[in-house]
Structure 1
Amino acid sequence: MTFQKRANKILELLEAFGEVEIRQFAAEIDVSEVTVRRDLTAMAAKGLLYRTHGGAMKLSELIKPVSFVNKAAVNVKAKDAICKRVAEDIIDGDVIFIDCGSTAFRLCQFIKNKKIKVITNSLPVVNELQNSPITINLIGGEVDASRQAVHGTMAQEHIARYHASKAFLGVDGITGEGLYAGSEHEASNTLAMASQSDCVYMLCDASKIGKTSYLKFNDLSLVNILVTDYNGPEVTEFGAKRISVFSVTV
C-alpha cells in the first residue's frame, strides 16, 4: 500500500474516532507499527494531524470541548494508581487545591477520611466529598456544564484570596517544552491555583505524556512533582528540569 493510501486511511480513522492509538492504526491498515509511526510523523509535519505520544489526534479535536463524563471514563486504573500514590502525601491539616481534571477527581476516594480543607472549581469533587470530614470551598464563577467546572474572572479572583500547601492539577498534554491545555479557561485556573500553592503536583496518565494541545500556557517550571504511570524517555527529560517524578505501576 502506498503512503498516500495509508494517509487517507489514517485520516478516515481520525475522522471517525478523533484520536487513535498506533496499534489501532496498524491493525486497521494492516501494516507494522513502525510504518504507522513514520507515516504519522510525516503527516504531522504537513499539518494534517497532531502527533501524540501514543498515536495521533484529529486537528479539530484540539478545540472541541470534551465532556467531564467522557474524560472520566478513560484510563481509570492508571488514574486510580496515580491518585492512591498522591494521597499518601496529604496529611491532616492540609489546605489543598483540586482542579476540574478527571484524574484529580479520582483523588477524592482516597482522601475522604482526612481532616483537610479542599478548594476546588470541580462540581463532581464537591459532590464526591460531601458528608465527609473535609471542609469544602467551592470556587465561584461561571459554570461550564460540559466540563462540570467553574471558570472565569471571578473564579481567578476567588482563588487569589486563598493559600494552599499543595495543588493537585492536570493538563491536556505535557512535553519537555511545557504544559498544554484545551482552553484558556482551564489554563487560567491551573496557573492561578499553582501560584497560590507551596507545592504543585501534576497528575498525568501516560496518554498525556509527550502530547501537545490547543494552548501551551507555561513551561515546566510550574511543576514541582509529576506523578504518572508512564516510564519512558520523557521522564528522564522531566527530571533534568528539576521536577520530581513518581512513576506508578498499574
Structure 2
Amino acid sequence: MLTFERQDMILSLLKQQKVAKLSELTEATGASESTIRRDLSELERQNKLKRIHGGASLPSRKSEEPGMTEKKASFTAEKQLIGRHAASHVEDGDSIFVDAGTSTEAMISHIQAKNVIIVTNGLNIIEASLRFGFRTYVLGGYVKSGTHALIGKSAVEAMRQYRFDKAFIGTNGVDASFGYSTPDPEEAYIKQIAVQEAQEAYVLADSSKLNRTSFSRFAGLQDAALITEAGSDSEEYLQQLSELTSIEAVKI
C-alpha cells in the first residue's frame, strides 16, 4: 500500500469514529506500528489530525464535545478497567457524587460496598444506579442533549445542599498546566462544586484525554487524583503528571 493510500485510510477511519487507537490503525492498514506512527506525525504536521496517547483524533474546537453515542463507542475496554478501579475506592456507607459520563458509568456495576448513596447529574448514571439497587439522588436542571447531563441554576443550587465522601468526575482534557477541563462552562461548574464538596475527588479519564485541553477548566491537577490506564505511549506523560497529582494507572 502506498503512503498516501495508507494515510487516506487513516483519515477515513477517523472521520467515521473521531478517535482511533494505534492498534485499530495497524489492523485496518496492515502496516507496522512504527509506520503508522510516522504517518500520524506527518498528518499532524499537516494539521489533519491530532496525535493522542495511544492513537489519534480529528482536530476539534475547544468548545466542541462528542455526544453520548460517540463516547460509548470509544475506549470501552479501558473505561471498564478504569471504572472497576474507581469502584474499589467506594466503602460501605459512602455518600458519593458520580458525574455524568461513560467512564463514570462504567464504575457503577463494579461497586461492591453496601449502603452506598449516589448523587448524580447524569441520566445514564440514574439508570445504572437504580439497576444495581443504589439509593439515588438526582439534581434538577436543564438536560443537555449531547451528554445527557443536568446543568444550570437548579443543578448548582441542588449541589450546594450536599457534602460527599467521594466524588468521581469525568473530563475531556488532562493537561499538566491547565489541569482538568471540559467544553461546557455550566457543566464545568457542576464538576468544580463536586470536587470542592468532596472529602476525596477522583477524575476518571482514558488515555485519549491526556495532554489535551478543553474550553473550561474545572479543577487543578492538585485538586483531584487521576485514574487512567497505563500504556507505553502514555508512560512519559504520566510520569510528568505524577509530579503534580496522585495518579492511579490501571494496567491494560
132-141 vs 161-170, greater mean Cα deviation = 132-141
Give the partner amino acid of 2:240.
E
Q: Is the 8 A contact 2:173 2:180 kept in 1?
A: yes
**Change beyond 3 A, Cα 1:16–1:72:** closer
User: Structure 1: where are the runs of 5+ without partners?
Assistant: none
Distance 1:216 1:45, change over 3 A: farther
Q: Give the structure 2 partner of residue 215 of structure 1.
A: 215
Cα distance change on mapping 1:248 and 1:4 into 2, 3 Å: closer
| 1:235 counterpart = 2:238 | yes
Partner in structure 2 of residue 93 of structure 1? 93
Q: What corresponds to 1:136 in structure 2?
A: 136
Q: Matches of residues 184-203 of structure 1 in structure 2 within 5 Å?
A: 184-203=185-204
| Alpha-carbon separation, structure 2, partners of 1:45 and 1:11 | 14
Is the 2:22–2:55 Cα contact (8 Å) retained in structure 1?
yes
Aligned equivalent of 1:37:
37
1:206-244 CA-partner distances (Å, limit 9, x unpaired): 33333x153251431222x22222242222222211x22
The worse-fitting range, judged by mean Cα deviation, of 113-122 and 48-57 is: 48-57
Aligned to 1:169: 169
The alpha carbon displacement at 1:145 in A equals 3.1
C-alpha separation in 2, matches of 1:149 and 1:86: 20
State the one-letter code of the partner of 1:120.
Answer: T
CA RMSD of aligned residues (A): 3.0
1-structure distance, mates of 2:214, 2:139:
25
SS in 2 for 1:96: strand
Deviates more, 1:152-161 or 1:43-52: 43-52
1:71 is aligned to 2:74: no
Q: Deviations over 1:33-61 (max 9, x none)?
A: 43543453454455443221123222247
Alignment of 1:117-156 (within 5 A): 117-130=117-130, 134-156=134-156
Instruction: Provide the C-alpha distance between the structure 2 equivalents of 1:135 and 1:26, rounded to a whole number of angstroms.
Output: 45
Distance 2:208 2:238 in 1: 13
Amino acid at match of 2:204: L
Which residue does 2:250 correspond to in 1? 248
Identity across the alignment (%):
26
Q: Tell me how far apart the structure 1 counterparts of residues 29 and 131 of structure 2 sit (CA, whole Å).
A: 51
Structure-1-length-normalised TM-score? 0.81
Change (3 A) 1:157 1:42: farther
Q: Distance in 1 between matches of 2:37 and 2:168?
A: 33
Distance 1:54 1:145, change over 3 A: same
Match of 2:109 in 1: 109
Aligned partner of 2:207: which letter?
A
CA, structure 1 residues 7+82, in 2 after alignment: closer, same or farther (shift >3 Å)?
A: closer
